[in-house]
Homo-oligomer: A and B are copies of this chain.
Amino acid sequence: MTTRTRCHRVVSFHQTSHKFDNYMTKKHTPIAEIGEFGLIERIKKKCNEARLSDKIAKQIILGIDDDASITEPSTGMMQLTASDLLIEGVHFDLTYTSMKHLGWKLMVVNLSDIAAMGGVPTHAIISIALPAKISVEMVDELYDGILQAAQTYTCAIIGGDTSTSLGNTVLSATITGEAPVQFIKRRNGAKPGDKICVTGNLGLSHAGLKILLREKQRFIETQAPEGFQSQLQKYSFAVSKHLAPKARFDISTITSQKEWVHAMIDISDGLVSDVRHVCKQSGVGALLYENAIPLDPLVGSIAEEFNENALDYALFGGEEFELLFTIDSEYEQEISDTIPGVTVIGEINEDKETVSLQQTDGTIRNILSGGYEHFKK
């Protein structure tokens, strides 16, 4: 028996361009009705039936079907493994995040790590802890997003765990990739004199988050939540970047093959924080050029609406999932000739673990803090 009930705690804005769904009007089948084994069967069916590329399918001897999955590693490849938690109230907010976006993002935050190492994805393990407010239909949508990312980036879902949660929704993904040893790019290879490059524009994800949080506030304050119309259209590019980021395999599959790319990382904590990770691991420092930081005009206009500095969004905003890498400076021209959408934003120097900014007026200032860190108050 399924019931149509109002789900008071999980309501998303309805906005077609982002396919936000409004769970208030949707069928809501409690997971208790089908139980854990019913849920596992449903997830298993979805994941095992997902169309896989021949290359990946060949490696999966057994998906979700037993005590453990069985895979056959490719001969001569190194295995890369990345793992991330997404926790409701810490990493995401179901007021403005659809389950499909959430599933997509759960995959991408990990896939981006595999890209940053110079690998290509092979398989993923997904574990989910769900409170009673999450319906069977919402789990279906979560896996729609997960599988859409899996298919986009050629990755199989081969296992995981499900549980009730007494608190919030907790998602855990472990993603495995592979690479020939000589393609692997670590954080510790940056050398003084290297140029620092980034893909895409920066600050958009943070700008999108600001907009979503403002809409959430409007939503909370509205007198008629069922008729609420979010105003996200003109911010669409920023909001999409926050809710449905991309993993930059388009670039990493090129850079991983270049010997003169010395270190690589993805921007998840924020530009400065992640540059600092590279500096720390490589025993070097970095100078960023303010006037080279690639800012989308939308970041400027959103920062202006909030009376904030767009540059701060780019320097400290997290969850960009763009790639940052350092190259032998002799190849600066080759980068701009061969890889579109990559910008040289600075250089590596010998000022150990110091990240500085060359400002537009030519003066240099130390950048002391920024980037998101859990647990810190």
Chain A residues engaging chain B, CB cutoff 8 angstroms: 31-32, 34-37, 39, 61-62, 65-73, 75, 77-85, 87-91, 112-114, 116-117, 119, 123, 125, 127, 129-130, 158-168, 170, 172, 174, 177, 181, 184, 186-188, 265-266, 281, 373-377
A127 touches B85 (CB 8 A): yes
A117 touches B281 (CB 8 A): no
With a CB–CB cut-off of 8 A, which chain B residues contact A82? 67-69, 159
With A91-B163, A164-B90 already in contact, the answer to whether A68 and B39 are too (CB < 8 A) is no
A117 touches B68 (CB 8 A): yes
B163 touches A374 (CB 8 A): yes
B83 touches A125 (CB 8 A): yes
21 contacts between A and B (CB under 8 A): A32-B375, A35-B373, A35-B374, A35-B375, A37-B373, A62-B186, A65-B187, A65-B281, A67-B116, A67-B266, A70-B79, A72-B78, A75-B75, A83-B160, A84-B127, A85-B163, A87-B164, A91-B163, A162-B374, A166-B167, A174-B174
With a CB–CB cut-off of 8 A, which chain B residues contact A85? 127, 129, 161-163, 170, 172
Minimum Cβ distance to chain B for residue A244 (Å): 20
B167 touches A167 (CB 8 A): yes
Complex Cα spacing A265 to B68, Å:
10
Minimum Cβ distance to chain B for residue A213 (Å): 17
Complex Cα spacing A7 to B69, Å:
40
Q: Which of B37, B68, B78 contacts A70 (CB 8 A)?
A: B78
With a CB–CB cut-off of 8 A, which chain B residues contact A70? 78-80, 117, 184
With a CB–CB cut-off of 8 A, which chain B residues contact A69? 80-82
